[in-house]
Amino acid sequence: MNRIIFYCITCGANWTKGNYTPECNECGGGALKRSCIVCDGKCCNTWKKMPLDSNDSGEGHWMGFCGLSPDEQFEIVQRKMEKQKSNT
């Protein structure tokens, strides 16, 4: 039985084994699963990596949804943008 192994072309991390490089754009903050990228895990939902899209673009691509209300999501995203803006 052949098993597909997913890995990062940029840094060589083996995503199938749960490895990733935190600073790597293609790894995008996780191996094949990670906590919600909208609320940083507050909603407890898990997002799944789209490995081929991540490889093709050189940036981590994820599929999932945030379990918080739209208003809560908006507040979190707004705070993240304000923080990012103040860091530049």
Written as six digits, the tokens of 67 are 């379990």
Place of tokens 């749960």: 18
Buried b / exposed e over 14-40, threshold 16 CB at 10 Å, is ebeeeebeeebebbbbbbeebbbbbbe
Provide the residue-wise pLDDT of the chain in tens; the chain has 88 residues.
556 789 999 999 999 999 999 999 999 999 999 999 999 999 999 999 999 999 999 999 999 999 999 999 999 999 999 988 888 7
